[in-house]
Structure 1
Amino acid sequence: MSAPATGDTTAGRARISARTLRTDRWWVPPLFTTMGLAAFVIYAGIRSFVRTAYYVPEYHYLTPFYSPCLSDSCVPGSSHFGTPIGALPGWIPLAFLSLPFLLGFRLTCYYYRKAYYRSVWFSPPACAVAEPHGRYTGETRLPLILQNAHRYFFYAAFLISIINTYDAVIAFHGRTGGFGFGLGNLVLAGNVIMLWAYTLSCHSCRHVVGGRLKHFSRHPVRYWLWTQVTRLNNRHMLLAWITLGTLVVTDLYVMLVASGAFPDPRFVD
């Protein structure tokens, strides 16, 4: 058999002499995936650095892109855990302690790996489509060997989800103090619920609650937890995309209210 015109020639890898054997529009899903991921990265990147309209002092609404805000550069009231860090230069995000871990959690997520391996790196772009790479080393070398740190990013994401939950709870604040409830609370709470669903549906979480057990019957509590996480895990891909949307919607809502574009509809104030 002659060498393929494109694709990986490593032993054990499929050899495809044509660019593709597909007759359908196989490139549409990778294209949409790339566009969706790029749109979120661009929006989140811009919003993480602009340092404007990220907190509504009247109701304690704080966008998740700035939580936790621990610097003296944070606007008054937005530092729910104090300001142990001094002023930061503009090129450092105010949530610099959480954003790298959240980015690492998403980048090493099993679903996102599949998504950007296929759509961005074309490894492979689709079934029966030759990939442009001449070698295949998997996740055994830098930088992809860092994917093995996913479980540790999960622990950090779990802690950050607790912080986001705290932000959502203290946002039930009235204009003059005490309990208050508005549309923004629904947005913040909905985002937190989805973030918890995505975080707990992680494959690492499934291993944490049910891994290394030889007999589920001897550990009924962990078995029950494992079954619940498994149910969420079946929807991990859907939750991965939903949470990208809820993060953008939550940040956009807080930004619009904080900038005075429209008032937050209040149910209890």
Structure 2
Amino acid sequence: MATGTEPHAQPRTRGVNAPTRAAIPDRHLRTDRWWLAPACTVAGLLAFIGYSTWRAFSDADYYHAPYVSPFYSPCLADRCATMRSGPNWDLFGSWWGLSPALLILVFPLGFRLTCYYYRKAYYRGFWSSPPACAVAEPRARYTGETRLPLLLQNAHRYFFYASALVAAVLTYDTVLAFRDESYGWGHMGLGTLVFLANAVLIWAYTLSCHSCRHIIGGRLKHFSKHPVRYRMWGWVSRLNHHHAKFAWASLISVALVDLYVYLLASGAFDDPRFF
């Protein structure tokens, strides 16, 4: 009986080179462009990270009545309280000297970083863990999410509550986009439609979250005894089927809304007004 110490014993390896696997010299047998999806993921996330970092630290051109950038709403410091027609939460007062966006972006950022879909996307794109289906990752050990910092992924359900609150604030900002400071309610410009589309996509992404689905229908042994929750669970489950699409669509829309407000505030063009 071989013990692993004989001169001709096979080395104890794992993954595609394990002794119990077929002796195939190739790392995988895929012939399609499997690398395209993780490459696009890396490019898209890096583009958003670069843009959002620049805008978060710029601390300028984020308000043009009646629009306020979603990166800076709500304002939690009094340094920008006079720039909003609506109420603000001056929780940090005047001592906060950095960009107000840094107080807000931590919540949607944490929600997206711990999102089940985004975890799969950037694990594959940035860490090759694994790079694609049926393609082995370039490391022998796998610890999953049992160690720091990946152990913090379990906080996803708590970031969901914070992100739902942020989505409510963005909805409130969308309502304010129908109000002109000079003429009152009834204003509608191109920015109003941009804000409305973004609010819908943000809610679609938030409500299609796996944590939301579990909150609504989890821990139920008999759906028949909870018909309302069962119906809501069915709705969220249908949204959950498109969670990846909502994740990318809402990521793009929130950046476009901020860019639109930036162009208005910097004087690049005027908001086309319908009425």
Distance 1:112 1:69 in 2: 27
Q: What is the aligned partner in structure 2 of residue 122 from structure 1?
A: 128
Tell me, yes or no, if the aligned pair for 1:10 and 1:136 is still in contact at 8 Å. Answer: no
Distance 1:75 1:53 in 2: 14
Gaps of 5+ in 1: none
Aligned residue identity for 1:88: W
Residue in structure 2 matching 1:138, options 144, 149, 155:
144
Deviation at 1:167, TM superposition (A): 1.2
Partner SS for 2:30: coil
Aligned to 1:238: 245
Q: 2:78, 2:42 → 1: CA distance? A: 37
For normalisation by structure 1, the TM-score amounts to: 0.90
Following TM superposition, by how much is the alpha carbon of 1:260 offset from its aligned partner in structure 2, in angstroms?
1.2
Aligned to 2:202: 195
Matched pairs, number: 263
Partner deviation per Cα, 1:73-125 (whole Å, 9 max, x = no partner): 32732373153421533xx3313332111111001100001101111110010
Matching residue of 1:184 = 191
Distance in 2 separating the partners of 1:108 and 1:207: 15
**CA distance change for structure 1 residues 190 and 17 in 2, over 3 Å: closer, same or farther?**
same
User: 1:118·1:125 contact (CA, 8 Å) conserved in 2?
Assistant: yes
Counterpart contact for 2:208–2:243, Cα < 8 Å = yes
Q: Computing the radius of gyration over CA atoms, which structure comes out larger, 1 or 2?
A: 2
Q: Match for residue 215 of structure 1?
A: 222
Task: Tell me the TM-score normalized by structure 2.
Answer: 0.88
Deviation digits for residues 58-86 of structure 1 (CA, Å, limit 9, x no counterpart):
xx200101111122332732373153421
Identity within the alignment, %: 56
Secondary structure at the aligned position of 1:267 is classed as coil
CA spacing shift, 1:182–1:10, aligned 2, 3 Å: farther
**Offset, 1:259:** 1.2
User: What per-residue deviation string (whole Å, max 9, x for no partner) do you get for residues 114-140 of structure 1?
Assistant: 101111110010233231223100011
Q: Determine helix, strand or coil for the equivalent of 1:97.
A: helix
Q: Decide which of 44, 59, 67 is 2:52's aligned counterpart.
A: 44
Identify unmatched segments of 5+ residues in structure 2. Answer: 1-9
Amino acid at match of 1:184: G
- Structure 2 letter corresponding to 1:55: Y
Aligned Cα RMSD in Å? Answer: 2.4
Shift in CA distance, 223/13, structure 1 to aligned 2, threshold 3 Å:
farther
User: What residue number does 2:108 align with?
Assistant: 102
Report the equivalent of 2:37.
29
